[in-house]
Every structure is written in structure tokens, then in C-alpha cells.
Amino acid sequence: MNENDISAYKKITAPSSIKERLISESAKERKNHHVKAAFCYAAAGIAAMIIFAFTFFWNEGASLYLNGDEIGGKNVFVYENSSVAVARTFTASRVTIPLKTDKDAEITVSSGMIVIDGEDMGQKIKTKKNAEFIWMFEGEADGYQLEVKTDKKSSLYSISHKEGTEKFYIKKVN
Amino acid sequence: MSRSSHDEINAVYDKYSDTMYRIALSHLLNKEDAEDAVHDVFIKYMNGSFAFFSEEHEKAWFIRVTVNHCHDLMRRRKLRSHAPLEEAMEVFAEAGTSDTMREILTLEDIYKTPIILHYFEGYSVEETARMLRISVSAVKMRLSRGRDKLKDKLSGEI
């Protein structure tokens, strides 16, 4: 390619009006947030103490939820040849599992990808508390794993596939 | 919004907005649409409940989401009308690009996107492949076919 074209192309910059819009929208959002926050401080303080005590004495890891139910050591049915399109790269043979964690956590999957808001985020992502994400993969899936890691604890979940069917299950393995 | 501090927005905006705007303008061929696309992607980032592991990961996300968002907007716009090339060309011509740029802008996106990312934004073939979630060989093939198409249009100028 012509070097002059490349350097001319790079002279094009984003108009400052975009930044102004974003700053103004975030300022409005913060103002709303502050008003709401003022009413919630007392309740939040008490809740934080309870949560702190709870997590400190009992469970320091993040739990994983499927359709609002916590996934434990028993197999939970996750999929039956659904045709819901959740990502741009969707194909009919893909397995899609909508999940959520209850704490800030690092999520890693052994196969497939993590999708948030329709965007492929790769195989490793940091999520915020209560963030919803989708684990999407292809193939037989037996033994595919998902790790949920917090500062304190790591939990592993595993997929199994019922032979001859389109049925998939997930359970916590440690 | 999950990320709303001025410092955070400023820092990320300064890092990626120009690249995003150029990519959006190259695809949408319209200043207002390109501005909206950049704005929408930043809003998506600000509302996002996720974090990145590295600057590389963050950069790839911004570029991939911008390209995807442009494709979404184009799909919607096709229902209405095609954007005229002239408006985008005004911006490119003001910056000093030659007629080659006009021909690049008329390429199909499958060729235009890797050409813009690799030759104009300066990303390696491997980085381009990661951003577009396609294989390295697919990027090389698209660059090669894109160059061939440009050669045809420009009678062997490049």
C-alpha cells in the first residue's frame, strides 16, 4: 500500500463531540447513582457486614447459577438442541449455557467461548458480581470444564453428555 | 453504568477512539453513523460487567465490537438505502488520501476489514486474525484476494 495513503488515513481522528456526549452521559448516570446511593448507604452498610461475615466464616468462593439455581455436585440438565441465537458466530450445533456468578470472579473455560452481550470474549474473562454470561461450545463436550476463581477460592464445573442424545449436564466437581 | 469515572473514560477513549472512528467511517461511509457507532461501542464498554486481562485483550475487544457493530448497522441500513461514498471520501480526501482509498472503500467488507486493520492500522496478520476471530490463513487469503481486486480496479497500480 502507498505510504502516503497510510499516513493520510492516520490523520483522521474521532471528533471531540463523541467524548463530550460520553462524559455528559456518564456524569448524569453518576448523579443519579449518587442520589440513589444516599438512600441506600445505611442498608448497604448492614448488608455488607452480613455478607462479609458470611463469606469470611463460611464460603469464600463464587457460586455458579443456571436459570437462577445454584449448580452443585449433582448433574443439572442444561441443553436440548436449542436454536436460540445468542452470538454472531452461532451455528445450530452449538451448545449454549446461560450462567451467572454471585461474586466478582475470573471465569475460564477449557473449550468453546464465553459470550457477553452477544460478543465473543474468548476463553477467559473477569466478570462482575451477578454478571450474566454464556458458555458456548461445540462437540461431544464430555469433560469440558469451567473454572470460577475468586481471590479466595477456585471451583471447577464439568459438562457431561448423554450418549445418543442432545442432552447435556453440568455439575460442580470440586 | 459500571465504568463511569472521567479518568477511566478519558484514558480508554484516548487510546481507541481514533482507530474505532476510522474503522467505522471506512465501513459506514457516513460521519454521523461512524460517530454513533463509536459512541455505542463505548456505551457498551461503560455498561459492561466484565474486565480485560491485558491491553491486547481490551484492544481486540474494542476493534472487534466496532467492526461487528458496523456490520449490524449496515444490515439495518440496507433495508433503507446505501450510504453514498462521497461523504466518507470528503473526510479521507481532506486528510490527503489518494484514489486508492476510494477503491478500498468500495471493496466488500470481507476484504476491506483486514486491509484496513493490517495495512492502515498497522496490526500484524496474527493480531488481525485474533480481532476478527478468523484463522491466520483466512486473513492472508482475504488480504491477497483484496489486493487482487484492488489491482483490477486500479490497473496494477499497487
Query: In 10 A of CB B103, how many CB atoms?
Result: 17
**Total domain count, chain A:** 2
CA closest to B39 among chain A residues: A18
Contact state of B100 with A1 under an 8 Å Cβ cutoff: yes
Q: How many residue pairs from chains A and B have C-beta atoms closer than 8 A? A: 125
Bridging pattern class, strands A105-109 and A145-149 = antiparallel
In this complex, is the C-beta atom of B64 within 8 Å of any C-beta atom belonging to chain A? yes
Whether residue A31 is predicted with pLDDT greater than 70 in this model: the reply is no
Residue A41 and residue A107 in one domain: no
| Interface list for B 23-62 with A (CB within 8 A) | 25, 31, 35, 38-39, 42-44, 46, 48-53, 57, 61
Q: Which of B96, B117, B137 is the last residue of a domain?
A: B96
For B67-84, the pLDDT digits (tens) are: 999 998 888 877 555 667
Residue B71 and residue B28 in one domain: yes
Helix (H) or strand (E) holding A120: strand A119-120
Which residue of B10, B21, B48 is in closest CB contact with A14?
B21
Amino acid at A34: H
Amino acid at B18: D
Mean pLDDT of B144-148: 95
CA closest to B60 among chain A residues: A121
For B14-35, the pLDDT digits (tens) are: 999 999 999 999 999 989 999 9
**In this predicted model, which residue has the larger pLDDT, A61 or A150?**
A150
What pLDDT is attached to residue A89? 45
Q: Where are the alpha helices (DSSP H) in A11-159?
A: 16-57
Contact state of B21 with A117 under an 8 Å Cβ cutoff: no
Q: Rounded to whole angstroms, how far apart are CA atoms B24 and B87? A: 13
Give me the CATH number covering residue A121: 2.60.40
Residue A21 and residue A70 in one domain: no
Residue B123: give the domain boundaries. Answer: 98-158
Residue B14 and residue B79 in one domain: yes
Give me the CATH number covering residue B144: 1.10.10.10
**In this predicted model, which residue has the larger pLDDT, A96 or A87?**
A96
Q: What is the mean pLDDT of chain A?
A: 79
Residue B88 and residue B112 in one domain: no
Q: Which of A17, A37, A58 is the last residue of a domain?
A: A58
Residue B66 and residue B127 in one domain: no
CA closest to B122 among chain A residues: A6
CA closest to A127 among chain B residues: B50
Q: Which of A28, A58, A88 is the last residue of a domain?
A: A58
Whether residue B103 is predicted with pLDDT greater than 80 in this model: the reply is yes
- Give the best residue of B8, B44, B50, B91 to mutate against chain A (max A CB count within 10 A): B50
CA closest to B115 among chain A residues: A1
Give me the CATH number covering residue B56: 1.10.1740
pLDDT band at B47 (very low <50, low <70, confident <90, very high): confident
A115 DSSP β-pair partners? A120, A134
Would the CA dihedral through B73, B77, B82, B88 be positive or negative? negative
Q: By C-alpha distance, which of A159, A162, A161, A157 is closest to A172?
A: A157
Q: Which of A18, A38, A58 is the last residue of a domain?
A: A58
Whether residue B59 is predicted with pLDDT greater than 70 in this model: the reply is yes
Residue A36: give the domain boundaries. Answer: 1-58
Residue B28 and residue B84 in one domain: yes
In this complex, is the C-beta atom of B110 within 8 Å of any C-beta atom belonging to chain A? no
Residue B44 and residue B91 in one domain: yes
**In this predicted model, which residue has the larger pLDDT, A141 or B110?**
B110
Chain A residues with CB under 8 Å of a chain B CB are 1-2, 4-6, 8-15, 17-19, 21-23, 25-27, 29-30, 33, 88-89, 116-117, 119-122, 124-128, 130-133
Residue A45 and residue A68 in one domain: no
Cell of B35: 460517530
Compute the nearest-CA separation of A127 from chain B (Å): 4
Residue B14 and residue B74 in one domain: yes
Mean pLDDT of A143-171: 85
Contact state of B35 with A15 under an 8 Å Cβ cutoff: yes
